[in-house]
Copies of this chain bind each other. A is one copy, B any other.
Amino acid sequence: MTTQTAAPQRLNGFEVQAMTQTLDALTQDRTLARFEFRAANEWLGGGMNRSTIQGFFGAGAEDTSRTLPFNYTSGEPPVLLGKNESANPGEFLLHALAGCVTTTTVLFAAARGITIRSMTSEVVGDIDLQGLFALDPAVPPGYRQIRMKLDIKADCSDAELDDLIEFVHSHSPVCDTIRRPVPVVFERLKKK
């Protein structure tokens, strides 16, 4: 009988065995990597609307793990003609970015055997509403730049952490969606 150090069962809150199995499955059948995420939205009046998120396609099948939908409301502050019903869509984009960068960081840290002790971040996006209101065609309607400050405490060297962050910057799905031009196709259902 030999004694050896057991591999950790969990790292950064992820089950290591499940993580390895997922990556092995994807590597063996690349079609499993195709996902389709969805949201349905309903206008509730003024700058208030609500999204319902439940099903998605992924890993070769329609997901059925969510027995209830998630609901998220968008609003606007008074200075943008709303009543602070909720954060506004531009702020939700920053939440999506922060969440994706965080999850991508701790997941790939786990894959590299790095223990993350804590991670916080601050995201700031610059936007000039001259673009939205078509006051100046040279001003884009969306964010001009987004800056993200990352505070990560981890059991690795600064160089290893810099290497991890560089990977995350180019591989976080939401970060990549923002950094790269992604086509958005509209289809309007014709009035009855």
Q: Could you list which residues of chain A lie within 8 angstroms of chain B, going by C-beta atoms? A: 12-15, 18-19, 22-23, 26-27, 30, 33-43, 45-49, 51, 53, 56, 58-59, 63, 65-66, 70, 72, 74, 76-81, 84, 86-100, 102-104, 106-107, 116, 118-136, 140-154, 158, 161-162, 165, 167, 169-191
Contacts and interface: CB of A to CB of B under 8 A. Distances in A.
A147 B187 contact: yes
A183 B85 CA distance: 29
B89 A185 contact: no
A43 B148 contact: no
Contact of A39 (B18, B95, B181): B95
Contacts of A26: 129-130, 133, 135
Nearest to A179: B184
Given A94-B39, A184-B169, A81 B141 contact: no
A23 B72 contact: no
A89 B79 contact: no
Contacts of A93: 93, 96, 100, 174, 177
Contacts of A186: 148, 150, 165, 169
